[in-house]
Amino acid sequence: MKISSIFLLIPLCIMQIASEEASKKSVASALSPRQPPPYYKPSPGIIYYHYQKDISSSKLKRIFRQINRFTCLNFHEKKDSPVEGEIGINFEVNERENKVSLSRDLKSPTIVSLKKDVYDNNANLSFYIGLALDIIPEVKRHDREVDVTVQMNNVQEGFEQYYNVAQLDEISYLVDTEFDFKSPMFFGSKFGSKDNKPTYDVKLYKDYEYFSNGVKILRHNDYKHIFNHYCPMTRENDCKNGGYYPPIDEFKSKCKCPEHFDGLKCQYLKKNEGGCISQEQEVTAKETKDELRLKVGKGVCYFRISSKNDKNVSITIEQLVLKNGDCETFKSNVEVLVRNDKGAAGINLCKDKSESISLPKLSKEVILVLKSYDDDTFIKFSYQAAPEEVSMSA
């Protein structure tokens, strides 16, 4: 081989090696967890947010107060002027569009620019604050196909970012949680839709009934996602039923529990109340079908229906008398937690039922919560241990 040919090959080899290294870095980058914006600082770690004077402050303050309580973040209001030259969040009014410009730079703030009516709506404001904290919408979850089918043909241009599925390797803070229908991060099917056509169809919770006067606020799993995304793990999480330890004095010796659980480790159901006090809470599902009928006055009943043979629990609602035709939160209702993740919302039922409804068989333990605001609330449901129907991660 001629010397000139050798000199020609050397640059080609160098280029090939460089290309392979770049490819490896690209793959590694694609699979590595997304780094959060630099909102977290060690104690006292104050991060400021500022809002324009014509924005109602009460909802903002309440949301950040709860975020500070249940995570390691420490947001404080900056009253005199917008945040400049450092990380933080500025809230502005924009009459044309709703937009979040997320900063990942220690020297510049995130800008949340929303229409005036969004600031007056708890659910919508919570959603955009979630985006400002780098929390993805539920519809983007890697495991969404179990719960919803997205119709991308019905999504407006510019809104695809809210629907494109995320990878679990990238969004690692979702570990051990499941899709939550009550989270404000789960927007309605007309969000960013073309010609008012639905952007997704609900698959798993087809029988879910929404409260007509319900207000979506950040829930247990939303705070847990923020905690997982930002907070250093300083202790082993030995909490049960989806609990965790926020790093503040209030939770030094006890877990933060999902709403239906209690105890230092969230190991117990909350106690029955009112007309339900005499009811046994623990129920065993066997391979033969059993039935429970219950007529109660005002009170709250908690049931844990467990399988002892390593099979999932099958629940069928045979009859309901709730006297809540308008599905209002202050009237009788039922919630059934059928998932492995007990921090995620269950199936909500608020209307009378005379025909049976079979619920998804997803877990070896089902929690049924009956809230009765009337003297003649009635429920009849059957239960048994049944083969697994849908595979869901814990």
Residue the block writes with tokens 């009928």 = 293
pLDDT of residue 75: 98
Q: Give the Cα separation of 231 and 41 in Å (integer).
A: 9
Identify the DSSP state of 152.
G
pLDDT, the chain, mean? 90
Please name which of 279, 233, 289 lies closest in space to residue 377, comparing C-alpha atoms. 279
Share of the chain above pLDDT 70, in %: 90
3-state SS assignment for residue 50: strand
Neighbour count for residue 89 (Cβ, 10 Å): 27
247 contact partners, CB below 8 Å, separation of at least 6: 72, 231, 232, 234
Q: Give the Cα separation of 300 and 369 in Å (integer).
A: 7
Residue 316 pairs in a beta bridge with: 358, 382
Q: Give me 325's structure tokens.
A: 């035709």
3-state SS assignment for residue 36: coil
pLDDT of residue 389: 52
Give Cα 31 to chain centroid, integer Å.
Answer: 23
Q: Give the Cα separation of 297 and 291 in Å (integer).
A: 20
pLDDT of residue 23: 43
**Which domains are seen in the chain, by residue range?**
47-132 (3.40.390.10), 273-386 (2.60.120.290)
Instruction: Say yes or no to pLDDT of 300 above 90.
Output: yes
Confidence category of residue 166, pLDDT binned at 50, 70, 90: very high
pLDDT of residue 331: 95
pLDDT of residue 390: 52
Q: Are 57 and 64 in contact (CB under 8 A)?
A: no
Q: Give the Cα separation of 45 and 284 in Å (integer).
A: 48
Please name which of 27, 256, 214, 16 lies closest in space to residue 123, comparing C-alpha atoms. 214
Dihedral over Cα of 338, 339, 343, 347: its sign: negative
Instruction: Say yes or no to pLDDT of 17 above 50.
Output: no
Q: Give the Cα separation of 274 and 225 in Å (integer).
A: 34
Instruction: Say yes or no to pLDDT of 11 above 50.
Output: no
Task: Give how far Cα 303 sits from Cα of 10, 141, 176, 343, 381, Å.
Answer: 73, 30, 23, 16, 12
Helices (H), the chain: 3-31, 57-70, 116-119, 122-132, 220-230
pLDDT of residue 391: 47
Q: Which of 191-200, 210-219, 235-244, 292-301 has the lowest mean pLDDT?
A: 210-219
Confidence category of residue 381, pLDDT binned at 50, 70, 90: very high
Residue the block writes with tokens 């495991």 = 143
Give Cα 274 to chain centroid, integer Å.
Answer: 30
Highest mean pLDDT among 33-47, 273-287, 375-389: 273-287
pLDDT of residue 26: 40
pLDDT of residue 353: 95
Identify the DSSP state of 282.
E
Single pTM value for the model: 0.88
Buried/exposed code over 306-322 (b: 16+ C-beta within 10 A; e: otherwise): bbeeebbbbbebbebbb
Q: Are 47 and 83 in contact (CB under 8 A)?
A: no
pLDDT in tens, 70-126: 999 999 999 999 999 999 999 999 999 999 999 999 999 999 999 999 999 999 999
Q: Give me 206's structure tokens.
A: 């087809």
pLDDT of residue 156: 96
62 contact partners, CB below 8 Å, separation of at least 6: none
Instruction: Say yes or no to pLDDT of 394 above 80.
Output: no
Confidence category of residue 393, pLDDT binned at 50, 70, 90: very low
Instruction: Say yes or no to pLDDT of 245 above 90.
Output: yes
pLDDT of residue 43: 81
Q: Give me 173's structure tokens.
A: 């803070």
pLDDT of residue 15: 43
